Amino acid sequence: MGGEHNMSIVVDEATLTEEPITENQEVEEVQADLVQEDTELETQPESTIPEKYAGKSLEEVIEMHQNAERILGKQGMEVGHQRKLIETLMSSQQQAAEATAPKEEPVPFEDRFYEDPASAVNSAIENHPDVIKAKETRAKQNQALNQAQLEASHPDFMEIVESKDF
């Protein structure tokens, strides 16, 4: 034979064991690898718990949630109250703007007097600055009298009005 060939054989250490590797051993190794991968996945938490809830019992978390709901309800009521106040303010400003809107030019007194003397005289009296001032003063006096009567008959009326039950 013509040429000599030197062949070298590489032997794995695993093959040097006394027991031959069987199919069962290979399946067991694969299963062990899968179990190890599963346990690694299970140890990683699926969701992270925020710090403010960490270490709290279920009852404590429920109490925190209920407190948050109460605060939200209170804030909702405050927002509603503020909206009503704003609406009232806006409507009063609108009414004030309408009241100060320019009126039609008044017909001179003489022209009205010749058309309807009684109405012209009554209008002149009603629109006189002293009469207007006297009406305002009388309205303020009536208001003060009514308040004094209310205070006399119900001295605790302010507490009642300011209470949440009212």
Q: What is the dihedral of CA 44, 46, 51, 57, to 10 degrees?
A: -100
Q: Which of 76, 56, 57, 79 shows the shortest CA–CA distance to 68? A: 76
How many C-alpha atoms does 147 have within 13 Å on its Cβ side?
Answer: 7
CA 161 → CA 20, 37, 165, distances in Å?
96, 70, 9
| Measured distance CA(37)–CA(79) in Å, rounded | 54
Which of 23-27, 42-46, 52-56, 86-90 is predicted least confidently?
A: 42-46
For range 98-116, the mean pLDDT: 78
Contact 128, 109 (CB under 8 A): no
Confidence of residue 120 (pLDDT cuts 50, 70, 90): confident
> Each residue of 66-82: b (16+ CB within 10 Å) or e?
eeeeeeeeeeeeeeeee
For range 98-110, the mean pLDDT: 75
Residue with the bigger pLDDT between 35 and 151: it is 151
Confidence of residue 103 (pLDDT cuts 50, 70, 90): low
User: What's the pLDDT score for residue 139?
Assistant: 93
Quick one: what percent of the chain has pLDDT higher than 90? 31
Average pLDDT, the chain: 79
User: What's the pLDDT score for residue 159?
Assistant: 82
For range 4-29, the mean pLDDT: 56
Contact 136, 142 (CB under 8 A): no
User: What's the pLDDT score for residue 82?
Assistant: 93
- Does residue 123 carry a pLDDT above 70? yes
User: What's the pLDDT score for residue 164?
Assistant: 80
Which of 1-5, 84-88, 99-103 is predicted least confidently?
A: 1-5
